[in-house]
Each structure stands twice: as structure tokens, then as C-alpha cells.
Amino acid sequence: SGKKDPYSVLGVRPGASSEEIKHAYRGLANKYHPDKVTHLGEDFQTLAEDRFKEIQEAYQTLMPRK
């Protein structure tokens, strides 16, 4: 159950607006997207993939479904 706090994963404060959450998500998703790190080798790609999934999960937890 090693779930991390979605706010700390995205680097936003609890109570952040949906715009702040979206902005943080986009920046992190762009930085850690597995396709963006292929040139850094397999180990780094695996780490980026795990981090990317964590970021997506945090975003989905915090953003209300429309």
C-alpha cells in the first residue's frame, strides 16, 4: 500500500485549484514521459515509466470526473 500523497506527487498544495493541478500535471507528464527519455537508456526509461504512472494516478485521483 505504498501509495504516495497525490498532492506531493504533483507538487501542489492541498486545496490547489484544478488549473494548478492541471498545470503541474502537464509539466511533470512532459518531463517524465517515457518517449522523452529514450536517449537516456533503459534503466532511466523504466524509472521514468514508473514515475509517469505515479503522476497519472495522482492526477486522476485529484481531478473530478466530468
Does the pLDDT of residue 66 top 70, yes or no? no
Q: What is the pLDDT of residue 9?
A: 96
CB atoms within 10 A of CB 4: 10
- pLDDT digit string (tens) for 22-64? 999 999 999 988 888 888 888 888 999 999 999 999 999 999 7
User: 0.85 cut: is pTM over it?
Assistant: no
Q: What is the pLDDT of residue 2?
A: 57
